[in-house]
Amino acid sequence: MAHILIVEARFYESYNDMLLAGARAAIDAAGHSHETVTVPGALEIPGAIALAQDSARFDAFVAIGVVIRGETYHFEIVAGESARAIMALTLDGTAIGNGILTVENDAQALVRADPQQKDKGGEAAKAALAMLELQRRFA
């Protein structure tokens, strides 16, 4: 059994609740355990994963968050830099699934957060488990 850390950026309460439900359901269905930590925003997720890695308590990570475009360039920074930093951690061999939604509006966020619709939280959890399996296969 693996132990998974879900790192959520709780910027939008309702969407996060749905993403977490999907991620937790996927991990439970695969027979693994999980715990969750909360950070202020998506930009803090990669740092939280890096800090948690040092504890060696977790086998894989799931990033959960919602980034909705506003009026300024900040969307590109938050969306792009969180994805870039997560990818850098992945390329260092860390099993991570990225469930950070980067969308234009609330309607797009809802469809993707809802476990009964696109279930991006569950998708990210399954991706993390798939990468963990590869990591163990190549060990």
Can you name the residues that pair with 39 across neighbouring β-strands? 9
Give yes or no for residue 44 binding ligand LTPLIIQW (CB under 6 A). Answer: no
**Under rule CB under 6 A, how many of the chain's residues touch ligand LTPLIIQW?**
8
Cα separation, 36 vs 44, in Å, equals: 14
74 is catalytic: yes
Q: Output 101 or 125, the one with its CB closest to ligand LW54GNZ2.
A: 101
- What is the footprint of ligand LTPLIIQW within residues 51-90 (CB under 6 A)? 67-68, 70-72, 74-75, 78
Provide φ and ψ at 3, rounded to 5°. Answer: -115, 120
Residue 51, helix vs strand vs coil: helix
The number of helix segments (H) and strand segments (E) in the chain equals 5, 4
Q: Output 41 or 135, the one with its CB closest to ligand LTPLIIQW.
A: 41
Give yes or no for residue 41 binding ligand LW54GNZ2 (CB under 6 A). Answer: yes
Minimal CA–CA distance to 80: which of 38, 118, 42, 120?
42
- Minimum CB separation of residue 46 from ligand LW54GNZ2 in Å reads 11
Stretch that binds ligand LW54GNZ2, among 15-23, 59-67, 86-94, 107-115 (CB under 6 A): 59-67
Give yes or no for residue 100 binding ligand LTPLIIQW (CB under 6 A). Answer: no
Cα separation, 33 vs 51, in Å, equals: 19
Cα separation, 101 vs 7, in Å, equals: 14
Write out the catalytic residue numbers. Answer: 74
